Amino acid sequence: MDIQILPSLLAADFGSLAAEITRACKSGADALHLDVMDAHFVPNLSFGPDVVSLCRRVEPSFYRHVHLMMTRPDLYLETFVRAGAQTVQIHVEADCDLHAELPRIRALGARAAIVLNPETPIEAVFPYFAECDEVLVMTVHPGYGGQSFIADCLPKITALRARAPRIDIMVDGGVNATTALDAVRAGANQLVAGSFLFKQADMAAAVSALRANCAAVC
Ligand code: DX5
Ligand code: ZN
């Protein structure tokens, strides 16, 4: 499977947000990862739909994945799709019925994805395969950028890849030049990287090096 690389806007310089969106787009990355935090599901607040629509306005063709770290994502699905979310990612631990909400995301015209926290067993996503396009395996406890990759999550990726050979498997949290290779070897094909990519003076060089190194191990 082709490897996709997604800068996480959470690590951008918010004083120059439009320029940062363009820098990520021009880096050759495949899509943008947008972290929405509600200060309830996770102990932090980030941004809402206005930032998603800013991304669409600044770089309309740069694909937008929206990761909803929210207790009630079901109340905001229309809002985020209307703002420009093209893949909507909701947590299996959220307080809503995924059998109802994943089809609703698709009916709104977006791709539907499930996210699992590090402590959640992979079996939790098995009942939803027919209703989702992608599974995001968190490799940090969600809420903050810049944390260390939890390698104990790797066997979940391996088990998921064995069970669902064609599904998109994304990893998010602590991804850098080394941990990206561990994730790809385990079976992931989509890599979110926040601080690792945004701290680079030359993001394009980092994206192409990451892509080449990942291709060599998968
Ligand atoms: C964490 C977020 C991640 C975060 C990744 O709650 O879901 O997407 O932005 O940041 P890094 O790559 O710095 O760990
Ligand atoms: Zn995220």
Number of folded domains that form the chain? 1
pLDDT reading at 212 higher than 90: yes
Say if CB 55 and CB 9 are below 8 A apart: yes
CA distance 100 to 132: 11
Looking at residue 1, its pLDDT comes to 85
Average pLDDT over residues 156-171: 97
Question: With a threshold of 0.75, does the pTM exceed it?
Answer: yes
Burial of 87 (0-12, 13-18, 19+ CB in 10 A): buried
Looking at residue 206, its pLDDT comes to 98
Give SS3 for 217: helix
Q: Which two tokens stand for residue 117?
A: 């926290």
Q: At what angle do helices 179-186 and 203-217 cross, to 10 degrees?
A: 40
CA distance 69 to 144: 11
| Ligand 1 touching residue 187 (CB < 6 A) | no
Say if CB 122 and CB 160 are below 8 A apart: yes
**Torsional sign, CA 159, 124, 104, 62:** negative
| CATH number of residue 165's parent domain | 3.20.20.70
At 22, which amino acid appears?
Answer: T
Kindly report, residue by residue over 3-60, the tens digit of the pLDDT.
999 999 999 999 999 999 999 999 999 999 999 999 999 999 999 999 999 999 999 9
Pocket test for ligand 1, best of 140, 153, 195 (most atoms within 8 A of CB): 140
CA distance 7 to 31: 7
Instruction: Give me ligand 2 centre to Cα 35, in Å.
Output: 5
Looking at residue 218, its pLDDT comes to 87
pLDDT reading at 88 higher than 90: yes
Domain span at 120: 4-217
pLDDT reading at 208 higher than 90: yes
- CA of 143, closest atom in ligand 1: 6
Whole-number average pLDDT of the chain = 98
Phi first, then psi, for residue 177 (nearest 5°) are -60, -30
| Ligand 1 touching residue 171 (CB < 6 A) | no
DSSP 30: S
